Amino acid sequence: MSDTLLRGRLLTFHQEPVGPDDTDAYSYIEDGAVLIRDSMIVASGNYDEVAATSNGAKITDHRPHLLMAGFIDTHIHFPQVQIVASWGSQLLDWLNGYTFPAEAEYANAQHARAMAGRFCDLLTDHGTTTAVAFCSVHASSAEALFSEAQDRNMRMIAGKTMMDRNAPDAILETAQMGYDDSKALIAKWHGRGRASYAITPRFAITSTPEQLEMSGALANEHPDCYIQTHLSENHDEIAYTATLYPDARDYLDVYESNGLLGPRTLLGHAIHLKDREIGAMADTGAHPVFCPTSNLFLGSGLFDDAGLRARGIQSGIATDIGAGTSYSMLQTLNEGYKILQLQDQKLHTLRAFHWITRGNAEVLGMADKIGTLDAGTEADIVVINARATAAMDVRMDRAESLSDELFVVQMMGDDRAIAQTYVAGVPQKKETT
């Protein structure tokens, strides 16, 4: 395969910016280039210097657009692609009315594979190159998603959802079935190409103590797998969990007592937390995941980013499709900014873009692989057009700095602002601008 040289303005992060003037946290190059060989970035920097080493690489000139690392979504539900924007109420009724019936359809392997293709298209159309996904309870849904991602050489972290109570029969299994199916999927997919497995008990309400114990056994047997679940999204959910696990100290203890907390644990939502729970997350290195569009859509509550950061906890940020209302990590930042504003917390745009690239990569323990434009990392790259719409174009006439430009993209951008997305060096969008 011949080398590819992408030319444009470059932005990549080295660490989380502490404020708008923290220029040491990132590199910004007006005329930059990224050299790609065999799906990897082999050089990035000033165009003249990189081009001099490119040995006749095919050049794609994206100027005046901005090249960044591809976006990373740390909590999303693959089987919910067709129920986004379903009118509803709060969490538990929404699950019963929309989510569970939709997920039952993924017992059909053909349907699952068709939806996997559309799901991955939607991710890359919006600039997302890595996702952490819940599949349905059916092993066939995980097979479909991993197969589709493999065909695209796309980094995917996923797992079949484990549920053995409090859901319709069509999406229930036994605790032993959940263990066996998950173990077989781990053996087949974990570490294969760019795939990683996430042990996935949906949440405490839909798992018996026996299933959570078996989930902990899987985690102990496969310590390099991820663990994903939900925590403290909704007051009714928390109260119901307390009735199902009366001996637990709190909601988080349901997972903690089964060995499910650690640096590779991703806890979706984590809004209504007790002090002991926050301390346990800090002690174990578990990661809450902020899902702003979902939290607003279901009326769940306001994520306390500053409070968790003050305790040394590093959180992910994610779309949570399908209670989330957009596949766009840009729109996720838009709504996240507003949620934090309501609590007098500030999300500066440099930290915002670090969060959806290198920050989420750090949460996943993959900053050496994804999330930057550094040489030696995987060639997942997004091309951003800050003038993609008429409204953005007229606003950009007044932009005076990189931060101004990024804030326009953060607040006004969506898939239209993504001029191109490269997965392992291969362009994914059918139309470029």
- For residue range 38-50, what is the model confidence (pLDDT) as tens digits? 999 999 999 999 9
Residues 6+ positions from 60 with CB-CB distance below 8 Å: 4, 5, 6, 7
| Stretch 251-267: mean pLDDT | 98
Percentage of residues in the chain with pLDDT exceeding 70? Answer: 99
**Which residue type occupies 163?**
M
Report pLDDT digits (tens) over 63-100. Answer: 999 999 999 999 999 999 998 988 877 777 878 888 89
Structure tokens at 117: 């293709």
CA distance 102 to 86: 11
Give the pLDDT confidence score for residue 432 in this predicted structure.
47
| Stretch 33-61: mean pLDDT | 96
72 strand-pairing partners: 130
**Which residue type occupies 147?**
S
Percentage of residues in the chain with pLDDT exceeding 90? Answer: 94
| Stretch 296-321: mean pLDDT | 97
| Stretch 160-172: mean pLDDT | 96
Banded model confidence at residue 245, pLDDT cuts 50, 70, 90: very high
CA distances from 386 to 12, 216, 383, 390 (A): 17, 45, 10, 10
The lowest-confidence range among 180-189, 366-375, 424-433 is: 424-433
Confidence check: pLDDT of 276 > 50? yes
Confidence check: pLDDT of 1 > 60? no
Confidence check: pLDDT of 10 > 90? yes
* Three-class SS state of 367: coil
| Stretch 242-263: mean pLDDT | 98
CA distance 250 to 238: 9
Q: Looking at 153-232, list the stretches that DSSP marks H as alpha helix, in order from N- to C-terminal side.
A: 175-189, 209-221
* Three-class SS state of 427: strand
Banded model confidence at residue 431, pLDDT cuts 50, 70, 90: low
CA distance 142 to 339: 33
Residue 263 has a CB neighbour count (10 Å cut-off) of 13
Q: Which domains does the chain have, with CATH numbers?
A: 4-70+371-427 (2.30.40.10), 71-363 (3.20.20.140)
| Stretch 340-366: mean pLDDT | 98
Give the pLDDT confidence score for residue 81 in this predicted structure.
94
384 strand-pairing partners: 66, 418
Long-range own/partner contacts, residues 173-176 (CB < 8 A, 24 or more apart): 173/137, 175/207, 175/208, 175/210, 175/211, 175/213, 175/214, 176/214
Report pLDDT digits (tens) over 210-220. Answer: 999 999 999 99
Confidence check: pLDDT of 433 > 50? no
Give the pLDDT confidence score for residue 296 in this predicted structure.
96
Task: Round the average pLDDT of the chain to a whole number and report it.
Answer: 96
Quick one: how far is CA 244 from the chain centroid? 30
Find out whether 340 and 346 touch, Cβ atoms under 8 Å: yes
Banded model confidence at residue 368, pLDDT cuts 50, 70, 90: very high
CA distance 346 to 333: 12
Find out whether 99 and 167 touch, Cβ atoms under 8 Å: no
